[in-house]
């Protein structure tokens, strides 16, 4: 199960931009965004990134949206480190933006993976059995590791087979 060329192009663009010295935050939307919502989120994120600062120093930051479902925010810490307060401001911004769009970006029990068609699917880990039964998910499915926090990790552990992640404990014994 490999990503479609469109998803792969999005991944490649992110990997070309997010370097080893970046701090990374990834969020999975509670549902796929429409193209209009993705454009709105991207515009709002651009505005946020342009004014995002830590202790009065502007951060060199950016964002990406993958498959209209995964939102990635990053700060290049080779220029200036993101501080606790600046990280809090980013979280609050995304919470407020999500509320306005009626999208939850903070449910950490949801996972995203490349499905057999090569696009992104997402579900709660508690809802994997039907996905396994219909052939949409398996221990070999490439799961987005949303816990990554650095550009270096992103470069090397972006997509991982489900059986090699924390998700494996939610797989029924018959699927392992």
Domain residue spans of the chain: 5-101, 110-145+156-175
Query: Which pLDDT score, from 0 to 100, does residue 52 have?
Result: 94
- Cα of 8 vs its chain's centroid, Å: 14
Please give the average pLDDT of every successive group of 10 residues along the chain, which has 176 residues: 84 88 95 96 97 92 94 92 92 97 95 94 91 92 93 89 89 64
Q: What local confidence, expressed as pLDDT, does residue 34 receive? A: 97
Cα separation, 153 vs 20, in Å, equals: 8
Residue 97, Cβ neighbours under 10 Å: how many?
17
**Has this prediction a pTM greater than 0.75?**
yes
User: How many angstroms separate the CA atoms of 11 and 171, rounded?
Assistant: 26
pLDDT of 176: 53
Instruction: Please give the Cα distance from 71 to 52 (Å, whole number).
Output: 17
- Predicted pLDDT of residue 175: 54
């Amino acid at each position: 199960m490999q990503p479609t060329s469109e998803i792969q192009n999005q991944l490649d663009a992110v990997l070309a931009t997010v370097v080893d010295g970046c701090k990374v935050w990834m969020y999975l939307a509670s549902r796929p965004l429409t193209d209009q919502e993705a454009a709105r989120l991207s515009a709002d994120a651009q505005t946020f990134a342009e004014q995002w600062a830590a202790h009065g120093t502007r951060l060199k930051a950016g964002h990406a949206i993958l498959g209209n479902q995964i939102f990635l925010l990053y700060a290049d810490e080779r220029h200036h480190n993101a501080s606790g307060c600046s990280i809090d401001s980013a979280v609050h911004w995304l919470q407020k933006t999500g509320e306005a769009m009626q999208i939850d970006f903070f449910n950490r029990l949801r996972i995203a993976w490349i499905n057999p068609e090569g696009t992104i699917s997402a579900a709660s880990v508690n809802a994997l059995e039907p996905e396994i039964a219909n052939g949409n998910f398996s221990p070999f499915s490439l799961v987005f590791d949303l816990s990554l926090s650095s550009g270096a990790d992103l470069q090397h552990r972006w997509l991982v087979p489900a059986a090699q992640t924390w998700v494996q404990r939610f797989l029924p014994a018959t699927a392992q």
